[in-house]
Structure 1
């Protein structure tokens, strides 16, 4: 992923905060020799204090033997994307039809070392951390090995603890454009009001204010 200086995160806090609310991505795992990578869409819980992401997979999932063979993986998350028409990007002194269309998006790629977890007690603890992120306290039963309602189901899954070893993050929101062009794009996003336009505009405005 190409990251220009104007699209780079201001600091680690920017992408870490974004991941707390963007917790569905794709786990890319090296396939067997001569085969393409395996890619698995999944929910995950990112824990910035421990520098890891937590998820789990059903035992029949072909990613599991691939992870055992090569634990070096990438967890990729992309969202808050919007198509930006060319006229919105046109230089102030040029004709609108000379503007170049582009895509806005936020993306974080976590390079990780995957650790497979089978011990029932440790597996239950990791599941409780993941479920606790998605369901507030009191909205779900605690997972405990050998205890109802979920204990008997633990044998059907394996937890995956993704130890983060590198990060590539990008917030592509007109960072190199002149203020007047940014204003035009922001106004266009408000007027169009597409599914992710409000989020894209928020990034543009926030990053412009940060300088």
Structure 2
């Protein structure tokens, strides 16, 4: 992922705050020689204090042999993306129809070392942590080995503890454009009010202010 200086996060807090509200992404795992990577959509729970993310997959998933062969993976999260028409981007001294269209988006990529967890007690603890992230209000029984209702289901999954070893983040929201153009885009996003336009406008305005 190319990250221009004007698209880089202002600090770690910016991408960490954004990621805290985005817990569904794609896990990219190196495939066998001559084959493309495996890409698995999944929910995950990221813990910045521990520097790791936790997730789980069904035991028959074809990712497992690839993970065992090479545990270096990439967890990618992308959201708040919109299409920006060319006229919105035109420089002040340029004809609107000569403006260059583009995409706005926020993205965080976590490079990780994957640790496969098969011990029933450890799996239950990590699974409870993941469920607790998504259901902080409770409402579900805790997983406990050999106990109902989930104990017998633990054998059907494997848990992944993803140790984060690197982070790349990008907020592509007209950071290089003149103030006049940024204001035009913000106004146009508010007027269009399509899916994700409000979130994209919020990024643009927030980063202008910073």
Q: What TM-score do you get using the length of structure 1 for normalisation?
A: 0.98
Q: Deviations over 1:176-195 (max 9, x none)?
A: 11111111100111111111
Q: Quote the residue 1:50 is aligned against.
A: 50
Q: Quote the residue 1:155 is aligned against.
A: 155
Divergent runs of 4+, >6 A: none
Q: How does 1:124-203 map to 2 (within 5 A)?
A: 124-203=124-203
Q: Quote the residue 2:88 is aligned against.
A: 88
Q: How does 1:11-90 map to 2 (within 5 A)?
A: 11-90=11-90
CA separation in 2, counterparts of 1:142 and 1:132? 9
Q: Structure 2, unaligned stretches of length 5 or more?
A: none
CA separation in 1, counterparts of 2:138 and 2:163? 29
State the Cα distance separating 1:129 from its structure 2 match: 0.8
State the Cα distance separating 1:145 from its structure 2 match: 1.2
Q: Structure 1, unaligned stretches of length 5 or more?
A: none
CA separation in 2, counterparts of 1:58 and 1:20? 25
- SS of the residue corresponding to residue 199 of structure 1 reads helix
- SS of the residue corresponding to residue 108 of structure 1 reads strand
CA separation in 2, counterparts of 1:34 and 1:178? 45
Aligned residues: 210
State the Cα distance separating 1:69 from its structure 2 match: 0.8
State the Cα distance separating 1:141 from its structure 2 match: 1.4
